[in-house]
Amino acid sequence: MAIGQSTALDRGQWPNTDFDNAIVDLSEIRSGGVPRDGIPALDDPAMIPAQAEDRLGDAEPVLTLALGDATPRAYPLRYLTWHEIVNDEVAGQPVAVTFCPLCNTALVFDRRVAGRTLSFGVSGNLRFSDMVMYDRETESWWQQAVGRAIVGEMAGTELTALPAWVESWDSFRTAHPDGLVMDEPDARRPYGRNPYVGYDTSARPFLYDGEDPPHGIDPLARVLRVGDRAWPLQRLSDAGVLTEAGVSITWQAGTASALDTARISEGRDIGQIRVRDASGMDVVHDVLFAFAFHAFWPDGEWMLGAE
């Protein structure tokens, strides 16, 4: 959600949304300063061989999706930063690849719900600074951080999250030399530039009125979320490898922050996370800002280690 002037929530853009069917307090939802589809979601993106891509810096972050036997795909954050949602199909499976810069939430969802396939757009609204998506079929509103419909016909329905992870372009290219990467969209955007310069070191999240996280944790400190547990990224980077609560977590250096310097490829190194279960399978997780974890999982468990 590009940072701009906030305005009052405009229901007039949503004649087909059932606002009487909501599972959250509507007063918590506010405009992010752009209209419906002011940030344009993408559909059916062109993919190119990883070996043919020469525009990305080695440390640039990409969101990796590896479904079963399908060829792994990388979605560069340099594109997701400007579009936030990509409606794609991988080996016949419809997916929504999403990224909310204000919460640093990068998540992939199955677009199939109750026998129907949805496609998603950016509403222009925020709740606790997190993107509110909408589906084009019912115009219900969905909370991106949790993958749940919060307003409209689909309110209360949850999307299935799929294992995906953010890593450096070099890491993806090395692991998957025959992989695919999303090609540059045909849109007038300064791809590779960061419209949120210095955001992840700012004092406060944008348009956030909620509580700060507990334990003195900085609101914009990154944490790993697995279910309703959160591990501070600093703890993980200090440990390198950590096994607890039924998962094995690996931190590795070499990935740039997409929310630091003017050029994403030059962002400071924040490392990358991989989470697997006891059988070695990738586990659904997210690396988000601490304030967002506290906002959406207020009773969540903070994995701080020995005091």
pLDDT tens per residue, the chain (307 residues)? 333 444 456 788 899 999 999 999 999 999 999 999 999 999 999 999 999 999 999 999 999 999 999 999 999 999 999 999 999 999 999 999 999 999 999 999 999 998 999 999 999 999 999 999 999 999 999 999 999 999 999 999 999 999 999 999 999 999 999 999 999 999 999 999 999 999 999 999 998 989 999 999 999 999 999 999 999 999 999 999 999 999 999 999 999 999 999 999 999 999 999 999 999 999 999 999 999 999 999 999 999 997 5
Assess contact for 37 and 49: CB atoms under 8 A: no
What is residue 92's predicted lDDT score, i.e. its pLDDT?
Answer: 94
What is residue 188's predicted lDDT score, i.e. its pLDDT?
Answer: 92
Assess contact for 196 and 101: CB atoms under 8 A: yes
Assess contact for 21 and 155: CB atoms under 8 A: yes
Assess contact for 262 and 197: CB atoms under 8 A: yes
Which residues are CB-contacts of 294 (< 8 A; sequence separation ≥ 6)?
210, 211, 212, 213, 214, 300
Which residues are CB-contacts of 306 (< 8 A; sequence separation ≥ 6)?
none
Please list, residue by residue across 44-58, b when 16 or more beta carbons sit within 10 angstroms of its beta carbon and e when fewer do: ebebeebeebeebbe
Assess contact for 61 and 253: CB atoms under 8 A: no
- Interstrand relation of 105-110 and 160-162 (parallel, antiparallel or unpaired): antiparallel
Conformational region of residue 84, where left means phi above 0, alpha means psi within -120 to 50, and beta covers everything else: left
Give the end-to-end CA distance of the chain in Å, rounded to a whole number: 37
- The model's pTM: 0.95
Assess contact for 3 and 33: CB atoms under 8 A: yes
Which residues are CB-contacts of 146 (< 8 A; sequence separation ≥ 6)?
158, 296
Which residues are CB-contacts of 52 (< 8 A; sequence separation ≥ 6)?
none
What is residue 307's predicted lDDT score, i.e. its pLDDT?
Answer: 57
